[in-house]
Structure 1
Amino acid sequence: MPGIVALVLSLQLIGEVLVRLISVPVPGPVIGMLLLVGVLGLRGGPPDPLSRLAGTLLGHLSLLFIPAGVGVISYLGLLADRWLAIAVTVVASTLISLLATALTLRHLLRRRDTERS
């Protein structure tokens, strides 16, 4: 398991370095996770230690929200001043996500039906 943790952290570090080198407005860990998806795609799936690590992290997922909650409380005054913009952004991004999910599902179901016939 330490090797898998090192792999995940290394990919996150590579993501951070890439973000700083090419100045894209995307968090480094997001790039790192995309790299991990690429590695897993080339490999054909996750190894067992990575699956166990993912299960462990998901088991403690609520703890990972504590820093975000503290950040929200720290900036409550700023957030209160911009509540309408935040609410509109949350609703719009939720609707866009729902639409993207629905379109993706429809496409995949049509493709599956075409392959069956």
Structure 2
Amino acid sequence: MKILMIALQILFIHVFLYLGAGVKALLGVPIPASMIGLFLLFIALCLKIVKLEWVEKGAGWLIAELLLFFVPSAVGIINYDDIFSLQGLETILLIGVSTFIVMGTTAFVADKIFKRKDRETA
């Protein structure tokens, strides 16, 4: 029964993917349909149109199995070893710097949110 519920929730999340594809086709925006669908799901959750319980377990499963979606991409990169041999150091440096920027920005925003919540509760 749990597997069926997770499958139905994943299908429900896919509804928003297809809504995003429809919005992209109608408006012709240069944003991926999946991002538009995610934004629509976020808005629906914020406006309480969609309850969190309707998507929580399916989204949790997708996040838990996220690595499976990246493995084929990583294996495909092996075919282009000549690119990485020429630009490998630059690529590694870029990955390191971008990771540092993302981690720093996340820490900064999280710190601001925690300080704001502390002021509100005090």
TM-score (norm 1): 0.74
Q: For structure 1, which runs of at least 5 residues remain unmatched after alignment?
A: none
- Displacement of 1:107 in angstroms is 0.8
Q: For structure 2, which runs of at least 5 residues remain unmatched after alignment?
A: none
- Give the Cα–Cα distance (whole angstroms) in 2 for the partners of residues 111 and 84 of structure 1: 41
- Which has the bigger relative contact order, CA under 8 A and spacing at least 6? 2
- Displacement of 1:7 in angstroms is 2.9
Residue 55 of structure 2: SS of its match in structure 1? helix
TM-score (norm 2): 0.71
User: Which of residues 55, 63, 70 in structure 1 aligns to 2:68?
Assistant: 63
Assess, with a 3 A threshold, how the Cα gap between structure 1 residues 67 and 18 changes in structure 2: closer, same or farther. Answer: farther
Is 1:46 aligned to residue 52 of structure 2?
Answer: yes
User: Which of residues 20, 29, 36 in structure 2 aligns to 1:31?
Assistant: 36
- Give the Cα–Cα distance (whole angstroms) in 1 for the partners of residues 117 and 40 of structure 2: 28
Is contact 2:9-2:57 (8 Å) kept? no
- Displacement of 1:52 in angstroms is 2.2
